Amino acid sequence: MLAGTALLPLGSAVTVTAVAGTAALTLVVLLRGWARWRPVVRAAALPGVVALVVLAAAVGTNAWFGFYPTPASLAAGPDRGDRPAPPAPPVTGPGRDTLLTVDGVDVPVHLPPGYDDHLAHPVLVWTGPGDVSAAVDAAVDAGRMPAVVVLRTDRVPVARLRTAAAGAGSPVLRADRAAWALAGPPGGPGCPLERALAERADVATAAGPPGGADCPDATSGSPDPLDLVVLRTAATQDDPVPGAPSPGPAPAWGTVTAAPGTPVADVVAAELDSLGARLPDAVARQGVADRPAAGDDGQEGNA
C-alpha cells in the first residue's frame, strides 16, 4: 500500500487541505448528530473523528517544517537530504599487546588505538630499551601519528618481520616499504640509524641518535632512498651522522634537537611526531583473507 503512494507529496497544499477538510467535515457531522445519535454510535464515531483531527494537525505540522516529504521518507526515517551521516567518533585510549612469532622468537607487538583487522597498518620497528607503547598511543590519540603497529625487537630483520606477519595474517601490516620505519630512544644501544642503513631495502624512514662506537658499520647494496631523523642531545650534539653506504644515495635527514635537561619522554614524543609526519595512513587490506583480530594476551619484553 505504501509503495503505491510513495510519491504522494505529504507537504503539498492539496494534501493538507484534503486531510484538514475531511477532519473538519467529520467534526461538523459529529457535533450536529451528537444529540440524536445512540450512545453506541457516539462511542464508535468519536475515536475516528479525534484520529482525523490529530492526523490533520500532524500533516499541517509536517508541511510547515518539512520533516517527511513523502510516505516513503516517513517509512525510512527523517530525511537528511544531501547531508552525510555524522562521522563515527575516533577510537581513543590505550592500545593492546600481543606477540608475533618469527623463526621461533616471540616479538612483542603493540596494536594502537583504532587498530582494525580490515585495514593494513603502517609499522614502527622499535629497537633498544624502553616501552614506547604509551607514547605511541598518545601520539595516535592526538592525531600526530597514524595508527601504527609497533614491533619491538633488536635483532629480527625487518624482512623476516614482514614475512612472518603476512603468513600469520595478524597483525595486518602494510607491505610497501614506505610504510615501514625503524627507530630507537635517544642514547639507546639499539643503533637504529645504522640498522636502517643496513636494511634500507625494507624501511624508508628511521629515527634515533647518531651512531656510537659500539654500532656496526652500515653496509647495504640497496639503492633505495632513506629518510633519517637524527636525535641530538647534549651528549650527542657533535657525533657524526652515519654515512650512506655505497652504492646507495645519501640519505635525506632531519634533526630533533633536545635542550640540556629535556626529559627522555619529551624527546621520544618529538621523535614520534617526526615519524608521524612521514608515515602513511592505514589503508584497506587487499588480497588477504579475513582473520580474527589479534589477542591481547601477549607479554611485554624485547626480542
Return the domain boundaries, the chain: 3-76, 96-284
Of the pLDDT bands very low, low, confident and very high (cuts 50, 70, 90), residue 161 is very high
The sign one gets for the Cα dihedral 60, 66, 71, 77 is negative
Q: Please, are residues 122 and 171 in contact by the beta-carbon 8 Å criterion? A: no
Greater confidence (121 vs 154) lies with 121
pLDDT tens digit sequence for 55-110: 777 777 767 666 666 665 555 555 444 455 455 556 667 889 999 999 999 999 99
Question: Which grid cell sits at 179?
Answer: 610504510
Give the pairing type, strands 283-284 and 105-111. Answer: unpaired
> Band of the pLDDT at 297, cuts 50, 70, 90?
very low
Looking only at the bridges linking them, the beta strands covering 119-120 and 252-257 are: unpaired
CA end-to-end distance (rounded Å), the chain: 67
Over the chain, what is the mean pLDDT?
76
Of 230, 291, 295, 279, which Cα lies nearest the Cα of 257?
230
Check whether 298 has a pLDDT greater than 50.
no
pLDDT category at 54 given cuts 50, 70, 90 is confident
pLDDT in tens, 274-295: 999 999 999 998 644 333 333 3
pLDDT band at 141 (very low <50, low <70, confident <90, very high): very high
Per-residue model confidence as pLDDT tens digits over 234-265: 665 556 555 544 444 445 556 676 767 788 88
pLDDT tier, 49 (very low <50, low <70, confident <90, very high otherwise)? confident
pLDDT for residue 187: 72
What percent of the chain is modeled with pLDDT above 90? Answer: 31
Inform me whether the pLDDT recorded for 13 exceeds 60.
yes
String of DSSP letters for 90-146: PP-S--EEEEEEETTEEEEEEEPTT--TTEEB-EEEE-SSS--HHHHHHHHHTTSS-
Q: Three-state SS for 233?
A: coil
- Strand bridging mode 283-284 / 119-120: antiparallel
pLDDT score of 270 more than 80: yes
In 3-state terms, what secondary structure has residue 65? helix
Between the alpha carbon of residue 220 and those of residues 107, 115, 179, 210, the distances in Å are 24, 33, 20, 18
- C-alpha cell at position 138: 598518545
pLDDT, tens digit, 9 for 90 and up, residues 174-226: 999 999 999 988 876 668 888 888 888 899 998 888 766 566 666 655 677 77
Decide if 114 contacts 96 (C-beta within 8 A): no
Would you call 181 helix, strand, or coil by DSSP? strand
Residue 78 grid coordinates: 527523517
Q: Tell the CATH topology of 96-284.
A: Rossmann fold (3.40.50)
Note the pLDDT of residue 202. Answer: 93
CB atoms within 10 A of CB 14: 9
The pLDDT value recorded for residue 246 is 43
